[in-house]
Amino acid sequence: MAITITAFERSPDRGRALARDMRVRWALEEVGQPYDVRLLSFKAMKEPAHLAFQPFGQIPTYEEGDLALFESGAIVFHIAERYPGLLPEDTNARARAIAWMFAALNTIEPPIVDREVARFLEGDQPWYEQRLPMIDKRIRKRMRKLSDRLGDADWLDGNFSAADILMVTVLRRLEGLGMLDEYPNLSAYVARGKARPAFKRAFDAQLAVFAAASAD
Ligand SMILES: N[C@@H](CCC(=O)N[C@@H](CS)C(=O)NCC(=O)O)C(=O)O
């Protein structure tokens, strides 16, 4: 069944693959499923045609036959359930991997996104400079615990899974801030994820979109 996802026509991350279509692309590459991409402008994302797929006017979405999904976590979970390779067969190991998927999106991502929102939307507010250290403290608190738990393991819980796709893409949002480098095992973990051939294919695909848009 043909799969279509949505992505930014011109990603604000300028081809760094920080937008959430990257996690969906990566999951599809890992399971070897081809997909089409419908590119959307910011204006089109807020129009009824897209709101029918994504009630909040965001990307990514996922269409496969008569199934339409939104929320990157739900999409990656669906891919992992539908195609083999991204979740363990063993029931308990599968439950633990799913717990880590939630941890990536519910525990690690929120303070990181909070920092981005503060920077881009509140950076000109008088209280921004005071607030930033508080957000960074919350991020570091999570990173420290995540680093402790990962230890010298390659992946979050046994073999590489959908949870690692989500966690690596979430942690990548800290790249360039120096914060990731404070936790060498987390830096190495992200590097391991980025070294996977499926990651590279997904990265190149989204970069090609940005490069084409920039050439216009
Ligand atoms: N929780 C949603 C968040 C989706 C989201 O924030 N998408 C961003 C791109 S990464 C977006 O569409 N931003 C534009 C906007 O919100 O107007 C998910 O994981 O899919």
Delimit the domains of the chain by residue range.
3-85+198-215, 91-196
Least confident of 48-52, 133-137, 211-215: 211-215
* CATH 1.20.1050.10, applies to 91-196: yes
Percent of the chain topping pLDDT 90: 97
Which tens digits make up the pLDDT trace of 120-172?
899 899 899 999 999 999 999 999 999 999 999 999 999 999 999 999 999 99
DSSP for residue 51: H
- 72 CB within 6 A, ligand 1: yes
Distance 91 CA to ligand 1 centre (A): 31
Selected from 3.40.50.170, 3.90.420.10, 3.60.21.10, 3.40.30.10, the CATH number assigned to the domain covering 3-85+198-215 reads 3.40.30.10
Alpha-carbon span 135 to 126, nearest angstrom: 16
Reported confidence tier of residue 216, pLDDT bands at 50, 70, 90: confident
Rounded-to-integer distance, Cα 127 and Cα 107, Å: 25
How high is the pLDDT of residue 1? Answer: 85
Mutate to test the pocket of ligand 1, among 14, 59, 106, 209 (most ligand atoms within 8 A of CB): 59
Q: Are 11 and 210 in contact (CB under 8 A)?
A: yes
CA-to-CA separations, 66 to 84, 111, 181, in angstroms, rounded: 21, 35, 44
Rounded mean pLDDT, 19-44? 98
**Ligand 1 atom nearest to 45, measured from its CA:** 17
What is the residue-averaged pLDDT of the chain?
A: 97
Q: Is the CB of 19 under 6 A from ligand 1?
A: yes
User: Which residues is 69 bridged to in the sheet?
Assistant: 62
Residue nearest to atom 15 of ligand 1 (CA): 58
Cβ contacts of residue 43 below 8 Å, gap of 6+?
none
Q: With cut-offs at 50, 70 and 90, classify the pLDDT of residue 7.
A: very high
* pLDDT of 114 higher than 80: yes
pTM attached to this predicted model: 0.97
Residue 116 and residue 177 in contact, taking contact as beta carbons nearer than 8 Å: no
Taking alpha carbons only, the member of 37, 183, 8, 158 closest to residue 108 is: 183
Whole-number Å distance, alpha carbon 153 to ligand 1 midpoint, is 31
pLDDT exceeds cutoff 90 at 199: yes
- Ligand 1 atom having least distance to the Cα of 19: 10
Query: What does the pLDDT average to over 20-28?
Result: 98
Shared fold status for 3-85+198-215 and 91-196? no
